Structure 1
Amino acid sequence: MKNILVPIDFSEYSKTASAIAEKIAKVTGAEIHYLHTNESKNEHEKLHEKLNSFAPQSKEIKSKAFITDGVPFDDIINHSEEFESDLIIICSSGMESYHSSYATTNVLKITRLANCPVLIIPPNIKEINLDKILFVNDFTYEIDYKEQVERVFQTLVELTKDFKPEINLLYVKQNGIPEEKLEKCMIDFAESFDGMEIGSNIKESESVEDGAIGFAKETGADAICMIGHGSGNYFTELRVSVSEKVIEKADVPVILIKVTN
């Protein structure tokens, strides 16, 4: 991981995202980019002073501050693409100063537009561990989609490798597919990553989001990882509303990773 982007609106949620970025950067050696969009057209010099207050106290962690005068979401996406961000960190109740009544909607816009992984922090979380990660997906797909999901999973592995996490697969069962078939699909998927110990789990639930959140609580997962929005893939788009509901309901961090071609 080379750099982490943290959008800053000077709210308490920004402070939380900044603190979590600092912890991740300390483990991975990544540089933190703090980005503020100056919608009110305040003087940049004063804003830089305010933004620099988010800089890590530790000299071991590199950071840079950026101020733009555009549209927040465009600027966040443009910055992440220009600097090839490896991760965007934002709180699910963040971006409050950017049209506060639509805070959650704003966060979801970022998850849809970003090409890099996005880590969404719920408001109850003040610090993060990435020792146990739950990868939630449908593992009964067609072969073409399997390859796409494998790329997403590989991105998760690369993103979190410095934490050496325990990663478990979860299929939330809502239909009559025999468990033997589900288990075989998950074992086949896990075997694609030779040398890794990957747990496979099946949980019955009336909804995928409740099953995922409930299983995360039962097993003490530190984060839930799901496929992100905007891939243009039919199977992925079917799950857009599910990942949004997980973001809104989960009390653990959620990592969204978009399918890449």
Structure 2
Amino acid sequence: MDNILVPIDFSETSSYALEVAAKIAKEQNAHITVLHMLGLSEAIFTKDETQEYHEAKYYMELAKKRFTSFLDQPYLKGLAIKQIVQNYKIFSELNNVCHEHNIDLIVMGSHGTKGVSELFVGSNTEKVVRTSDVPVLVIKEQNPTFKIKKIVFACSFKDDSILAFKKALDFAHKFSAKLLPIYINTPYNDFMSTKEIDERISKFMFKAGEPNKDVYIYNDYSVELGLFNYSKKEEIDVLAIPTHGRKGLSHFFLGSIGEDVANHANLPVITFKL
């Protein structure tokens, strides 16, 4: 892992992401690229060199100055950091940045407060996740003791998740972490018998080239509730989920499990594109 991208809006949550990115960069001997999306009106950039042009230039310079204080953090000492300020207005443009700068991982903060489903549905985070070809690690709260030792990988174990599983396995190897594949069996959504689950998982792992790897089956009332309970029980550090480019993650977490549970689902979440 050589280069980590951190989208910055100068909020508290983006500082949480930056701190986690710094920990990863030091462990992986990687660089950090910080990106601020200015999002100025297109009209400002279509004028001739008049007052509008100078106004746009002023805001871009102001954003660059804000980086000076924002990046003045002890946890960034010794790290190589590249700054980008651009007038991006749509989040798919982040994917272009990733390709241009050889980004291996995006680490970003989320303002979501209602668990994993709120974290992704209808948010800027979901837009990044949906369009990014590289893994996206989402941080919801400050995590000064962040580590990656145990990763739970949740999926349906259908063939379209094989590539995402391989990406997650490779990611875990980079951190010498343990990847725990899991199937959440629920009574309301795609319920299967033990025999049916075993057969599906066996075929999946064989095609993925990991026929001897253990897969955990956890029964609960919903996928999200099962992931929360299992992660708490096993002291999981990161939740890994495959995502579809067109649908994002909203299709993965159908239905509400109640705010009393979802408000506690604050684990870092990493997504891998199918």
Q: In structure 1, what is the equivalent of residue 230 of structure 2?
A: 215
Alpha-carbon distance in 1 for matches of 2:84, 2:239: 30
Q: Is the 8 A contact 1:228 1:257 kept in 2?
A: yes
Cα displacement (A) at 1:49: 3.2
1:53-112, Cα deviation, whole Å (9 max, x unpaired): 4276332x3220000123152442331232232111112218xxxxxxx99611111111
Length-normalised TM-score, structure 2: 0.75
Q: In structure 2, what is the equivalent of residue 123 of structure 1?
A: 141
Q: Is the 8 A contact 1:92 1:104 kept in 2?
A: no
Q: In structure 1, what is the equivalent of residue 43 of structure 2?
A: none
Alpha-carbon distance in 1 for matches of 2:154, 2:256: 13
Q: Is the 8 A contact 1:133 1:222 kept in 2?
A: yes
1:209-231, Cα deviation, whole Å (9 max, x unpaired): 11112211111111111111325
Q: In structure 1, what is the equivalent of residue 161 of structure 2?
A: 149
Over 3 Å counting, the alpha-carbon distance change for 1:111 and 1:150 in structure 2 is: same
Listed as ranges, the matches of 1:54-65 within 5 Å are 54=71, 57-59=76-78, 61-65=79-83
Length-normalised TM-score, structure 1: 0.79
Does 2:153 correspond to 1:135?
yes
2:265 to 237, 250, 253: 250
Over 3 Å counting, the alpha-carbon distance change for 1:111 and 1:162 in structure 2 is: same
Q: Is the 8 A contact 1:125 1:251 kept in 2?
A: no
Cα displacement (A) at 1:179: 1.4
Query: 155-164 vs 7-16, which deviates more?
Result: 155-164
Cα displacement (A) at 1:123: 2.5
Listed as ranges, the matches of 1:1-261 within 5 Å are 1-39=1-39, 41=56, 42-52=58-68, 53-54=70-71, 57-59=76-78, 61-71=79-89, 73-93=91-111, 105-123=123-141, 125-139=143-157, 141=158, 146=159, 148-175=160-187, 176-190=191-205, 198-230=213-245, 239-242=251-254, 250-259=265-274
* 3-state SS, counterpart of residue 13 of structure 1: helix
Q: Give 5+ residue unaligned stretches, structure 2.
A: 41-55, 113-119
Q: Is the 8 A contact 1:167 1:198 kept in 2?
A: no
1:193-216, Cα deviation, whole Å (9 max, x unpaired): 668974321111121111112211
Aligned residues: 242
Q: Is the 8 A contact 2:135 2:273 kept in 1?
A: yes
1:104-142, Cα deviation, whole Å (9 max, x unpaired): 611111111112111111235444211000010112x3x
Cα displacement (A) at 1:249: 6.5
* 3-state SS, counterpart of residue 66 of structure 1: strand
* 3-state SS, counterpart of residue 36 of structure 2: strand
Over 3 Å counting, the alpha-carbon distance change for 1:109 and 1:85 in structure 2 is: same
Task: Please tell me the residue identity of whatever aligns with 1:200.
Answer: V
* 3-state SS, counterpart of residue 137 of structure 2: strand
Alpha-carbon distance in 2 for matches of 1:189, 1:213: 24
Alpha-carbon distance in 1 for matches of 2:240, 2:61: 39
Q: Is the 8 A contact 1:228 1:258 kept in 2?
A: yes
Percent of paired sites with the same residue: 26
Cα displacement (A) at 1:37: 1.6
Cα displacement (A) at 1:180: 3.4
Q: Is the 8 A contact 1:226 1:243 kept in 2?
A: no
* 3-state SS, counterpart of residue 123 of structure 1: coil
Task: Please tell me the residue identity of whatever aligns with 1:57.
Answer: L
Q: What's the Cα RMSD here?
A: 3.3
Over 3 Å counting, the alpha-carbon distance change for 1:250 and 1:256 in structure 2 is: same
